[in-house]
Chain A
Amino acid sequence: MSDIADRVKKIVVDHLGVEPEKVTPNANFIDDLGADSLDTVELVMAFEEEFNVEIPDDAAETIQTVGDAIKFLEKNAG
């Protein structure tokens, strides 16, 4: 796993309090990891802070799985 993937995974585990094994690229934040819509906003805020990147609202809406987040950040983060 890439460095970015590890950092994303850590944020998701910390924020949602889920088992690390469950945080797979295909895991959907809401359907699989028990996030509510406010959690997804907070996750995006946490990604922005960790990777020092701005995630616009329309991009944030497309980030629904762990893999979506990793892909977006690999493309856009420093």
Chain B
Amino acid sequence: MFDLSGRKALVTGATGGLGGAIARALHRQGAHVAVSGTRREALEALAGELGERVHILEANLSDPVAVEALVPAAEAALGGLDVLVNNAGITRDNLFLRMKDEEWDSVIAVNLTAAFRLSRAAVKGMMKRRYGRIINVGSVVGATGNAGQGNYAAAKAGLVGLTKALAAEVASRKITVNCIAPGFITSPMTDVLNDKQREGILATVPMGRLGEGAEIAAAAVYLASDEAAYVTGHTLHVNGGMAMF
């Protein structure tokens, strides 16, 4: 089950906690993986750890030119593209009343617009090949909202709408488009929380712990697999029960 041998995958934000875990898991199932991110050294470390079947594609997704170039570069490096994981994301948290246009724009650009443009580029080849898996990494806050994250929550909720609309358009071409919505996961993004914040969060999680990157990656492996061929337009919540839909 869930064999990805010979599949070609691009993971954005691969130097982050979740992206790295997703790249490792897809690779472990046999996929050829192109890892994209902004930090060359971290990408090289990840590629070194994975060994073969890995390509490094440095790209800053806040740069529209870099976004346009990324899918063609991945297709050239991998010899096609079967799985696109739109994982890259940034936060620029602020109270709504104080949020600067720049904070809003930059989060929408990386977390939502880049996913749109990468998906648009990837779907072209996937339609020709009559196979594709697009996996958007959203967030529980896209469904619940979160004080101080108006921009982030809007972008992540936007991904859910994008997922459903694109899924409806390309289902007849055997391309699935799904979303994973992680809750609070151990990562550099949550490492910055202090003990009090952490306790506050854990009180809202029935499972009583943070999630692990590998638990998000397992969801990505499933959605990327042949076994998930009939699942599309779905948002898979992986959050220890903190919000149930």
Contacts and interface: CB of A to CB of B under 8 A. Distances in A.
Contacts of B173: 38
Contacts of A45: 124, 127-128
A42 interface: yes
Contacts of B199: none
Interface residues of B, number: 7
Interface string A13-40: 0000000000000000000000010100
Interface residues of A, number: 4
Nearest to B173: A38
Interface string A31-69: 000001010001001000000000000000000000000
B194 interface: no
A42 B124 CA distance: 9
A36 B170 CA distance: 12
Contacts of A42: 127-128
Main secondary structure of the interface of A (DSSP, over half): helix
B172 interface: yes
A38 B124 contact: no
B169 interface: yes
Contacts of B172: 36, 38
Interface in B165-194: 169-170, 172-173
A38 B128 contact: no
Nearest to A37: B169
A27 to B, nearest CB: 22
11 contacts: A36-B172, A38-B127, A38-B169, A38-B170, A38-B172, A38-B173, A42-B127, A42-B128, A45-B124, A45-B127, A45-B128
Given A38-B127, A45-B124, A45-B128, 8 more contacts: A36-B172, A38-B169, A38-B170, A38-B172, A38-B173, A42-B127, A42-B128, A45-B127
Interface of A: 36, 38, 42, 45
Interface of B: 124, 127-128, 169-170, 172-173
